[in-house]
A and B are shown apart, each in its own frame.
Chain A
């Protein structure tokens, strides 16, 4: 039972969401809230590897998300849709259902390669200096996209909705919901396996004492490289999903404001706590929706929350702990570690 409780729960959540989207039991608005929740979970739990576990300060997560969003959008439109920029589809649109995960993966890979832009300087640089490099990397990505004409430049890029429609023609299912939920589960599962292995614990070792890590045989450069690439790659995956939910991307969606939003989720959840990142991504998404009637004042309330958080609970909701540490009763139902 211990082994199967979590997969069973996730399968049930997956089934309910797909069923509710299919039958319309959940309206379009709530569907999109749930999907953005998924994207935010991927973003915050992947940023948590760098800002939480490794103790660095990356403010450029939106940049890597943009890489994933654009690469996967361009690929999916070029492969499966008729567009002004790329002409007729290269493959039959009916293949979209099967090849779409690979398209997302390609976006993630591209983002993780761009992550090298930050990973390599991190060998020599730490803290504030690295934070500035992450901002620079995000700006490089954004201005590059703005200056490539064929993908729409600053006007943005569209056509992904026809890919989603093509999937619907193949099999009438709420495909985007399926991909988002699967992508979210996949990401959290990947991160969890990474950070609980001895390999991944090297990341924590670096944050707590880098010199000790190096002298105790941890190849710190390699660990940083892997951690940055995993984190940026998953941000790219989130970006790909984000682009396909909206059916339209523009560089303006990936500004420092987006990076800040993700950082707020990490700090609210508790640095270095995976379950904290997941929980706070859910909370923040709901909060953003609840505060929507406030319109622009929302951007006063949310930063204010951050100020209050830092004043009264700087360690975040969970601190460094996980759900099973806070509620030991949960251990009866699932094995948290290992």
Chain B
């Protein structure tokens, strides 16, 4: 059984078909990519899976259960974490607090515990903080735990965002253009980082990416969409030589 099984997902915005008959089956631990020219509908696919939109038609199964129509926080609580194209950290809160808040799905206490500081509250708060520090440690971010993200360089902010997504302990991590805005040496670091995360945390990663060296060196399986429709899928080698893909990216040579 596939970890994420999307069947014939279709999304209309008014009369515009943003995503049409999109299907994908991601296995546990798979590293896959979703590529396509600008405006192809890639981010819409991510938004549909993570619950921001409810698809017009089709089915989304995660671990065999339907997640279609769930609120984003419920989808995340079931084990799908994602990052955004532009960084969406809480910039006026410390890095540690950023990670702590991402443990909301597993808070394990209510308002009364919080008022009365019950043993359960104290225990969970301690565990949450320990867990957050562990995640930061693993990504080499321990030193910046007390900093505000707004004061950190762009590359580190990206890293914090990935750390925050990982702290949810997802089974599937969706990265929306993780290499956007990084220079070439940062990109090399990112490729290594994503590879390491994939190995260490044993999770499936699905990414949208424009930088082909990231996609080709990491992903075992690629899906290409254009104008909401799937135009190709397969291994990196197959995609590189696919005439449809070349046409979508570079245009037709007939005039």
Contacts and interface: CB of A to CB of B under 8 A. Distances in A.
Interface of A: 190, 193-194, 197-202, 204-205, 208-209, 211-221, 226, 230, 320, 338
A216 B92 contact: no
A128 to B, nearest CB: 22
B104 A202 contact: yes
B111 interface: yes
B72 interface: yes
Contact of B71 (A204, A205, A214): A214
Interface stretch (B23-31, B114-122, B192-200): B114-122
A202 B88 CA distance: 15
Nearest to A218: B104
A97 B103 CA distance: 44
Nearest to B89: A212
B36 to A, nearest CB: 22
Contacts of B100: 198, 201
A200 B101 contact: no
Contact of A217 (B77, B92, B117): B77
Given A198-B104, A201-B97, A212 B115 contact: no
A205 B90 contact: yes
B235 to A, nearest CB: 30
Interface string B80-112: 011010001111110001001111110101110
Contacts of A230: 111
B168 interface: yes
- Please indicate which of the listed interface residues A208, A214, A215, A226 has the most CB atoms of chain B within 10 Å of its own CB: A215
Contacts of B105: 217
B101 A213 contact: yes
A209 B88 contact: yes
A277 to B, nearest CB: 18
Contacts of A320: 92
B73 interface: yes
B214 to A, nearest CB: 22
Given A217-B73, A217-B76, A217-B104, A199 B90 contact: no
A185 B73 CA distance: 35
Nearest to B170: A217
Nearest to B102: A216
Given A197-B114, A197-B125, A200-B114, A215 B104 contact: no
B109 A199 contact: yes
Contact of A201 (B89, B101, B110): B101
A53 B110 CA distance: 19
Contacts of A338: 125
Given A200-B114, A205-B101, A216-B81, 9 more contacts: A194-B111, A197-B114, A197-B125, A199-B109, A199-B114, A209-B89, A216-B101, A217-B102, A320-B92
Contacts of B97: 201
Contact of B125 (A198, A217, A220): A198
A202 B114 contact: no
B253 to A, nearest CB: 42
B50 interface: yes
B114 A204 contact: no
A200 B114 CA distance: 9
Contacts of A209: 88-90
A212 B50 CA distance: 12
Contacts of A198: 100-101, 103-104, 107, 125, 128
Q: 4 closest Cβ contacts across the A-B interface? A: A217-B105, A212-B88, A217-B76, A208-B90
A214 B73 contact: yes
A230 B100 CA distance: 22
Interface in B64-79: 71-73, 76-77
A209 B72 CA distance: 14
A217 B88 CA distance: 14
A209 B89 CA distance: 8
Contacts of A204: 90, 92-93
B93 A216 contact: no
Given A202-B104, A217-B73, A220-B73, A208 B93 contact: yes
B100 to A, nearest CB: 5
B90 A215 contact: no
A193 B73 CA distance: 24
Nearest to B103: A198
Contacts of B50: 215
